[in-house]
Amino acid sequence: MAEYSVDELQAPVWMNDQFFTEILRKSENDPSLGLVGGYELLPATKPGDHYASIMFRTCIRYRLSGQPGEQEINLIIKAQPMADGFKKEISKDNALFAKEIKMYSEILPAMVKVLKEAGEHLEVARLIHASLEPNVVVVLESLTPKGWIPGRESVVSFEEAFPTIRNIANFHAASLYVNQQIMDLSTNSVKEILAEGVVLNLFTKGFEEFCVAIGKWEGYESFVKKLKTLLSTMDQRLQDAYTANPATVGYNVLNHADFSWKNVMHKRSSDGRKVVDSMLIDYQCCHWGSPAVDVWSLLDLIVDNRTKTAHRSRMLYEYHKQFAKVLDKMGFMGKIPTLVDLQMELLRKGFLEVLHVTVFEKYKFVQMTDTMFDSFDEGNPDDPCYHNEEYCDIIRAELISLLHRGLLD
């Protein structure tokens, strides 16, 4: 398999000396800034790491006016895909990039500020440049040289998951406070992206494939019947899951909404033995709605199934404890949602867990590729994954759990 994404092997021609000079002059507030030497634009990610952009990395050396010596900065450049396929289709109207630009330029700085004032922290990459014209691009300072490591697989212990639990709780709490005191966040929605069009088709085809595969397992006919009933109303159930709660029911936060092991970076201890901090990345899908959108992902897509099974209640408890503590420290004016309120949200939006089990659990057991989403229409119920003993054990246990909690009805 290719080491890098094929569409990132050649950078766009506009990523040149003029582009980097202009954005660094603006970022450093120095109209005389000049580049020093050359630089190499390299692919920033592995195949299958992301699905709505192309990404490059480089190290730029430059001189500032009135200062001796050279400066150096490592950059991540995130641009709109140009090659035909799933990536281009999902990002074609620039909505995802527009959302991420607003997150990095307005919303995240406000969150970081209020959290800092409350004695809390949210690590965010520094925005260097962002635009929709003449080219769709977001340029961030790379945190890899500072010891941050991309998440390549789900987290395998509660201890290593704890920094991520803390960070998503801080993110949710800050969003609630910012929405109340600083700016309206309720217009942030990806329902039209995640519950319609190519993504709905992706989810539907994955669900269909799962039903066909599980239908070959002896004794699972009743499960398949229930799953097919859910499948017949997939579009409405997804619409409901991503529809924000009315004022009289539950509560809403700004969700990351693409919260998986691939969108988290970690920092390890000096001996490399344990995760000491984590940070969220990729803010293209942020969505105002039930916290269940992210909390189900925390349970299903951040940690492995063994950790979820052993520590589900503890993870929810620690998430809520941090969430409530931060709101209290901020001086949030209003009723702070209780742990019971959170549990009710998870039940109301329980179809999201069904979706995670039927469609997303598989991705923990397959090699992600550059074009895997381009051929989702074909489906593959004979995928070797469906014969993987560990995967099958997980699915059997999860289906029984979903049945007993009424989420298959």
Q: Which residue has the tokens 């582009």?
A: 19
Evaluate whether 36 touches 61 at the Cβ level (below 8 Å): yes
pLDDT at 11 over 50: yes
The pLDDT of residue 271 is 86
Average pLDDT along the chain: 91
How many Å apart are CA 396 and CA 392, to the nearest integer?
6
- For 153, phi then psi, to 5°, come to -160, 165
pLDDT digits (tens, 9 = 90+) for 69-122: 999 999 999 998 875 555 555 556 678 899 999 999 999 999 999 999 999 999
**Residue 155 banded pLDDT, cuts 50, 70, 90:** very high
pTM of the entire predicted model: 0.93
pLDDT cut 70: percent of the chain above it: 90
- Count of other CB atoms within 10 angstroms of residue 307: 20
Cα dist from 48 to 6, 53, 356, whole Å: 11, 11, 18
Looking at the DSSP bridge assignments, the partners of residue 63 are 34
